Structure 1
């Protein structure tokens, strides 16, 4: 005999639990406390088993019968519904570990990162976070556990890395909050708990009176011609050293006076446009007969199939007598940024030419077209300014 909604509603608790059967193995269990829950008794593989179908009234009579029907279909197909539920629960639990959520976050951000940046983030988490908190459920991750993991990094003297890993953990946890896996990010509670990191600034010459001698020294460099050209071009384009040394001839339009660096080679994974001043064009035209038949503008000393070594620019500066506390390849960016701002150029145009990530939503709204003309004027004026400094006695 099947149950009715009225019977279920009017069922009163007794001194002991009792069952109200609805047939096909399903019944309502009424507890002495008044609680009512659905159960399904079934046999599979010669063994009798019991499956919970939910509590009444959250699960109505109709809902319980639908769940019974689904379970019976699974049993008929040789699938144990109880074992299936446990496997699904384990899968959901595994997907909520810090490592699982972190890898999901990395995949979600991949379209915004370069391959090198993605590799760096993944490697940092794999080395410094996953071994210690990777298998912890994100909703169970507490500040002391995160701090203990960060202390291990500090212990080897990697203070900057500890701060970077803390930032990554915070980003992963905020992603976990956004996707409903936890309620909060524990990293703000660690404010002030780590050792103060030293701010790394690349050595740079920004005094105009010292820039002229530097440029004259570069012109007098007696090493490889391609290296001298790279040194001469670096102040005029102020791209990152890796973007300069990996430059390919196919990226340059010398007639149009522009260098288009593809997104795959940029830190922020976005196409970067570098307007070329006439002085920069002359340097490139001078170099092209030497390296123009190959892929790279500045090929390696040992192989034309590979770009210039990452140490070449800094080594050349050392050879010219500038130590690491005076000038670096990265320092040409600081030189341009400092002086262009002092000269009153539009900050948005400078930041975009430096290919910095926009942190201000209003500034981020500017696109390349809105600054292209000003950037072209700025780059030519900057090259003219450098030339005037070099010409001074």
Structure 2
């Protein structure tokens, strides 16, 4: 059987015709030329003795060169010898790759966000922004099952070191919830954030100092001139109740 009948130069310069046609390279490898000028590599084979002829689409020229097409033809021939359909194997590989893409960190995180329908719009936006700004660029394309503590430690560390320790802690908490969701979907086996709980020191909360009682009249006067009406009413109500250790139900009727 004649082999390697085509040359790289010939493949490059082959013209199109009014009707599609085939050019043989040997070893059941063909170049299919369409009227539009497309050049498609095809491998013809027969699955099992007496089986129907089948065609395996290797790819399109020039994305797949002559040399690459021959290499893939040889690989497909070996599959046929082992009783494996090259066409079926390619479909399985494509399906597996699509599944892997769907189960990388970013798509899984977005499904987790979508599942939390109870969130307020503001909180949902905060979570989305935090993940898009600080997490997805670093680990978004990694399969969720392959992410380890070493992947997430620098993500959290970088945020903390830019002066946002509270955001760094939030990122760890969000990622932990995402991995819990992924585990429930049987996409991963563990939470790689578990070892990062003490990686960022929580900043000390500093409360505002109490307002001197002499300044309270001035404060209430300024409240009347600015702010939403509901806020003004709430602050004036607090001025009447914040020294009383009572429950709201006890004030009804007063």
Question: Where does residue 174 of structure 1 map in the other structure?
Answer: 180
Cα distance in 2, alignment partners of residues 114 and 163 from structure 1: 20
Q: What CA distance in whole angstroms lies between the structure 2 residues aligned with 1:175 and 1:114?
A: 20
TM-score, normalised via structure 2 length: 0.60
Q: Distance in 1 between matches of 2:55 and 2:101?
A: 27
Name the SS for the 1:203 alignment partner.
coil
Instruction: Report what 1:216 is aligned to.
Output: 217
**In 1, distance between residues paired with 2:253 and 2:48?**
83
Distance 2:138 2:188 in 1: 19
Give the whole-Å Cα distance in 2 for the aligned partners of 1:379 and 1:200: 35
Q: Which residue of 1 aligns with 2:234?
A: 234
- Whether the aligned pair in 2 keeps the contact of 1:160 and 1:197 (CA below 8 Å) is yes
- Where does residue 60 of structure 1 map in the other structure? none
CA distance in 2, matches of 1:83, 1:133: 28
Q: How far is the alpha carbon of 1:180 from its aligned partner?
A: 0.4
Distance in 1 between residues matched to 2:231 and 2:237, nearest whole Å: 11
1:138 to partner: Cα distance: 1.4
Gaps of 5+ in 2: 1-45, 58-72
User: In the TM superposition, what whole-angstrom CA distance separates every residue of 1:125-149 from its partner, at most 9, and x where no partner exists?
Assistant: 1111111111111111111211011
Q: Note if contact 2:47-2:80 (Cα within 8 Å) is conserved in structure 1.
A: no
Three-state SS of the structure 2 residue aligned to 1:105 is helix
Measure the CA separation in 1 of the matches of 2:147 and 2:52.
Answer: 38
Query: Scaled by the length of structure 1, what TM-score is found?
Result: 0.40
CA distance in structure 2 between the partners assigned to 1:163 and 1:139 by the alignment:
22
User: Is the partner of 1:234 in helix, strand or coil?
Assistant: helix
> Which of 199, 202, 206 is residue 197 of structure 1 equivalent to?
202
- Which among 142, 149, 156 is matched to residue 162 of structure 2? 156
Q: Take 2:217 and 2:174, find their aligned partners in 1: how far apart are those partners?
A: 44
- Tell me the distance in 2 between the aligned counterparts of 1:228 and 1:169: 36
- What do you get for the CA RMSD once the two structures are aligned? 3.9
Distance 1:85 1:120 in 2: 39
d(CA) in 1 for partners of 2:80 and 2:101?
23
Q: Distance in 1 between matches of 2:81 and 2:188?
A: 26
In structure 2, do the counterparts of structure 1 residues 42 and 126 end up closer, same or farther at CA, with 3 Å as the change threshold?
farther
Count of residue correspondences: 189
Structure 1 residues 218 and 52, CA gap change in structure 2 (3 angstroms): farther
Which of 38, 44, 66 is matched with 2:55 structurally?
Answer: 44
Match of 2:89 among 82, 94, 100: 82
C-alpha separation in 2, matches of 1:175 and 1:52? 43
For 1:165 and 1:95, locate their aligned partners in 2 and report how far apart those are by CA, in whole Å: 22
Distance 1:52 1:134, change over 3 A: farther
Contact 1:173/1:184, CA 8 A, preserved across alignment:
yes
Q: 2-side partners of 1:42 and 1:112: how far apart?
A: 56
Cα contact 2:224–2:232 (8 A) shared by 1: no
The gaps in structure 1 that reach 5 residues or longer are 1-23, 28-39, 55-67, 239-278, 280-334, 346-374, 382-393
Deviation at 1:198, TM superposition (A): 1.1
Cα distance, 1:82 vs. partner?
Answer: 2.6
- Residues 171-211 of structure 1: per-residue CA shift (max 9 Å, x gap): 111111111000000111123222x1214455264x8xx4x
Determine whether 1:187 maps to 2:193.
yes
Matches within 5 A, 1:86-125: 86-109=93-116, 111-125=117-131
Q: Flag the 1:120–1:228 CA change in 2: closer, same or farther, 3 A.
A: closer
Give the 3-state SS of the residue equivalent to 1:192 in structure 2: coil
Deviations along 1:261-289, one digit per CA (max 9) or x if unpaired, are xxxxxxxxxxxxxxxxxx9xxxxxxxxxx
Structure 1 residues 3-47: Cα deviation after superposition (integer angstroms, max 9, x where no partner): xxxxxxxxxxxxxxxxxxxxx9469xxxxxxxxxxxx99722587
Q: Take 1:376 and 1:124, find their aligned partners in 2: how far apart are those partners?
A: 40
